[in-house]
Amino acid sequence: MREKFTALSIPVEEAFFLQPFRERHISTPAAKKPPHVTVYSPFKEMEVMNEQALQELTDLFASFKQFTYTLKSTGRFADIGVLYLLVEPAESFQALSSALQEKYPELQPYLTDPILHVTLARVKDLDNVENKFYLEFGNQLPIQAYAKEVCLYEKHDNVWCKRNNFPLSSR
């Protein structure tokens, strides 16, 4: 895996209250990144993100309207020990991902048809952690969320840092 790369993600401000749980149950650098839905990863390295490249992203994301979505149920990637909240509906996220793939066909995302989600935990004992999650937060589901921007994050030296944000259209 590359030591240094970027990702385009939508922060889920409405789920920031889950951050302490995530930090307890995710041992990778992703734990320090606030709850988010990744739209495209990996993206271009920061070294090539000049003003023109940033303006292209600004224009691209401004062509999409802000949208609502819901996090209401958990899911699992059992083979890698990940517990997540499923994003519903996923169509607006998929449209963003498709537009990025069309604009940057030279880039290859890790997954071409990902299950869009907010990671809650990365552990071996998924049953136990899922039970803890529902005991602690089950009464706060579903979470109604609003996507208003896409953020460019860079992972460097095992730390994720937000580098730019690109508003979605409010019209």
Residues 6+ apart with CB under 8 A from 167: 61, 62, 148, 149
Cβ neighbours, 10 Å, residue 135? 9
Please state the pTM of the whole predicted model: 0.92
Residue 33, pLDDT score: 87
Residue 5, pLDDT score: 79
Residue 112, pLDDT score: 66
Residue 3 has pLDDT above 80, yes or no: no
pLDDT bucket at 118, cuts 50 / 70 / 90: very high
Q: pLDDT tens digit string along 96-115?
A: 999 999 999 998 877 667 88
Task: Cite the DSSP H helix spans in 75-145.
Answer: 91-103, 126-137
